[in-house]
Homo-oligomer: A and B are copies of this chain.
Amino acid sequence: MFVQTNEHLNMKSDQVISPRVFFSSGHLNGEDVVYESKRLSELAGLFADRAAAEEMDGNLPVYEVYSWVPVPQGTEGGLFFGLTNLHPGLVGSEYFMTKGHFHAIENRGEYYWCIQGEGILLLMDKQRETRAERMFPGTLHYIPGYTAHRVVNTGSRTLRFGACWPSDAGYNYDPIAADGFSVRVRKVGKVPVLG
């Protein structure tokens, strides 16, 4: 039995506990939360203009992910919950983006929802057909199974999005590491252009 007086709610029961994790617009906060920062030096190979990447500070954070992992990786039937902050920036003319991946168990889906900023979600099937969905605050995106997913920040602010995915989905980064996505998103003049 958990004992805690809940003064905030003026609640007197000894059976009511605080939640373990809090969700703000920018981060998850709690004891089971895992934080991961992805810096440009780890991601330079994603971008077409390697020379431009190498001239930049490799310590520059490109994105940060907070994940709540309440069950072990690989648990069937469980779920993970994430919050990603993808910073604005360019490598040459190409916008900052996430690595992108398929799931290791290929039929596993995922949700993304945009909290702040603007961007593009790239969705690529196994035949490398790619489609794209605009992200802005309030957009909700279903990523079906068998579909690689990458987020591109096309705005001037940090793009923040939530995510929920099965705890046995796993990650398959290899096809993306080898061949990338079939579409890149570049700034041409003032606008993002896919090609």
A-to-B contact residues, CB < 8 Å: 2, 6, 8-13, 15-24, 28, 30, 68, 70-71, 76-79, 81, 105, 107-111, 113, 118, 120, 130-136, 138-142, 144-145, 154, 164-167, 169, 183, 190-194
Contacts and interface: CB of A to CB of B under 8 A. Distances in A.
A138 B9 CA distance: 15
Number of copies: 2
Given A10-B190, A15-B131, A192-B11, A109 B77 contact: yes
Given A16-B134, A22-B140, A81-B140, 13 more contacts: A11-B192, A12-B191, A13-B194, A15-B130, A15-B194, A18-B133, A21-B139, A28-B140, A70-B142, A76-B107, A77-B105, A81-B111, A109-B167
Contact of A108 (B70, B77, B141, B142): B77
A134 B110 CA distance: 27
B166 A19 contact: no
Given A11-B134, A139-B22, A107 B77 contact: yes
Contacts of A140: 19, 21-23, 28, 30, 68, 81
A141 B20 CA distance: 7
A139 B81 CA distance: 13
A165 B167 CA distance: 12
A134 B6 contact: yes
B144 A194 contact: no
Contacts of A120: 16
A107 to B, nearest CB: 4
